[in-house]
Amino acid sequence: MMRSRSRLVMQGFLPACLLWFALASPAFAQGAGLLLNAPAGATACSGCHGASGSALPVLSTLTAAQIEDAMVAFSSGARDATLMNRIAKGFSADEIRAIAQWIAAQSGASK
């Protein structure tokens, strides 16, 4: 079955326009700037820790010190985990500190 020309235009053109408007918006630009300034590994945390109602802590409710302490405990093995202990071991103390500070700064909890 052959698709109509207008349907093809709408399938390609409309999504492209919507994407352009989203990328051109100031909110997107600000968000993209935050992501560009994020330390390596920091943006992946929200994949598991972003949703409230999850069994995992929502990082936006924690201070930088709390995040850093937890990451150090996971890294050293002092805090048991299924996955975080392996993730935390991949970062140096300076990287853990930078990640914790960046995450806390996104929510204003950078104490």
Question: How is the chain split into domains, by residue range?
Answer: 1-37, 45-111
Give this prediction's pTM. 0.62
Percent of all residues in the chain with a pLDDT value above 90, rounded to a whole number? 32
User: CA–CA separation, 70 vs 65, rounded Å?
Assistant: 9
Tokens of 59: 């990082």
> Of the CATH numbers 3.20.20.210, 1.10.760.10, 3.40.50.300, 1.10.287.130, which one belongs to the domain with range 45-111?
1.10.760.10
User: CA–CA separation, 16 vs 46, rounded Å?
Assistant: 27
Sign of CA dihedral 92, 68, 106, 53: positive
User: CA–CA separation, 106 vs 75, rounded Å?
Assistant: 23
| pLDDT (tens digit per residue) in 48-76 | 887 677 788 888 889 999 999 999 999 99
Q: Which of 51, 47, 45 is nearest to 98 (CA)?
A: 45
